[in-house]
């Protein structure tokens, strides 16, 4: 199947989405999935993700195509939230279906590193003293270097 | 007629709105020159990317703006 890439402005159900993805890839030998959530600790009361329609989804679609060109996967799923989220809510779901596990696991790892560092999202956190914009982290760029 | 400016991330705070309409000008330099000095300096920084109608501008010095263009100012992303 083709890559399934979607942007949600309201909560989604990762479990349901993984089940659907598995059903859509019946010939895969394995499926790897990563679900990222708003961290429930650390004093964050809410998280807001802003995106820019003309760039964000096309960028995620280009990432899915790159995953498909680098690994032997039969399907790629990239789902991402935008808008206002509470601690514990899912932000992102990335899954890959492949004949062999290593392709699926590495495809998900690669997609996550790229989503974290070079996808078109801007993030701010609400803490006790108000809203704070989140700057890019050095660790995210270091994670990206792993694939070069 | 006008240009539609879009400010992403913290730039929306600096511009005091996520969007703004301005009179059409022919270049990005003249667009920046027409804004408040603080905002203009912030938007002109090299790390701020500019997209016109959804495409990243590669060479902002020679880019020609047209009536109705959507000009987006994109600070470094904080990641998904």
Tell me which of A5, A36, A52, A137 to substitute to probe the interface with B (most B C-beta atoms closer than 10 Å). Answer: A52
* B45 in contact with chain A, both atoms CB, cutoff 8 A: no
In a domain, A74, yes or no: yes
In a domain, B79, yes or no: no
Closest residue in B to A94 (Cα–Cα)? B80
Q: Do A91 and B54 touch (CB under 8 A)?
A: no
CA B47 to chain centre: 13
* Cβ neighbours, 10 Å, residue A26: 9
Q: Do B80 and A116 touch (CB under 8 A)?
A: yes
In a domain, A41, yes or no: yes
* B9 in contact with chain A, both atoms CB, cutoff 8 A: yes
Domain count, chain B: 1
In terms of DSSP bridges, do strands B49-52 and B55-56 run parallel, antiparallel, or are they unpaired? Answer: antiparallel
The structure's pTM equals 0.91
Q: Residue A104: give its domain's CATH number.
A: 3.90.1170.40
* B37 in contact with chain A, both atoms CB, cutoff 8 A: no
| Predicted confidence pLDDT, tens digits, chain A (148 residues) | 579 999 999 999 999 999 999 999 999 999 999 999 998 888 899 999 999 999 999 999 999 999 999 999 999 999 999 999 999 999 999 999 999 999 999 999 999 999 988 899 999 999 999 999 988 777 777 888 888 8
The domain in which residue A22 lies consists of 4-142
DSSP string, B6-65: EE-THHHHHHTSSEEEEE--SBHHHHHHTS-HHHHHHHHSTTSEEEETTEE-S-TTTPBP
> Are A92 and A39 in contact, with CB atoms under 8 Å apart?
no
pLDDT tens for each residue of B39-55 = 999 999 989 999 999 99
In a domain, A148, yes or no: no
Residues on chain B touching A124 (C-beta within 8 angstroms): 9-10
Locate B16 and state its tokens.
């005091």
In a domain, A8, yes or no: yes
In a domain, B25, yes or no: yes
């Amino acid at each position: 199947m083709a890559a399934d890439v979607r942007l949600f402005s309201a909560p989604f159900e990762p479990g349901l989405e993984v089940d659907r993805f598995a059903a859509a890839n019946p010939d895969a030998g394995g499926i790897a999935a990563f679900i990222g959530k708003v961290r429930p600790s650390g004093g964050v009361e809410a998280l807001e993700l802003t995106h820019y329609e003309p760039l964000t989804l096309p960028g995620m679609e280009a990432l899915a195509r790159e995953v498909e060109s680098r690994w032997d996967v039969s399907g790629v799923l990239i789902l991402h939230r935008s808008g206002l989220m509470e601690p514990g809510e899912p932000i992102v779901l990335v899954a890959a279906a492949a004949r062999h596990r290593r392709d699926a696991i590495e495809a998900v790892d690669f997609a996550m590193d790229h989503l974290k560092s070079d996808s078109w999202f801007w993030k701010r956190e609400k803490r006790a003293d108000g809203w704070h914009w989140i700057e890019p982290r050095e660790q995210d760029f270091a994670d990206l270097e792993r694939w070069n | 007629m006008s240009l539609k400016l879009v400010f992403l991330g913290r730039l929306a705070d600096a511009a005091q709105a996520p969007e703004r309409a301005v009179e059409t000008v022919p270049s990005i330099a003249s667009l920046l020159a027409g804004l408040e000095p603080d905002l203009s300096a912030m938007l002109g920084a090299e790390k701020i990317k500019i997209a016109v109608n959804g495409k990243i501008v590669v060479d902002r010095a020679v880019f020609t703006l047209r009536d109705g263009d959507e000009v987006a100012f994109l600070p470094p992303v904080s990641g998904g």
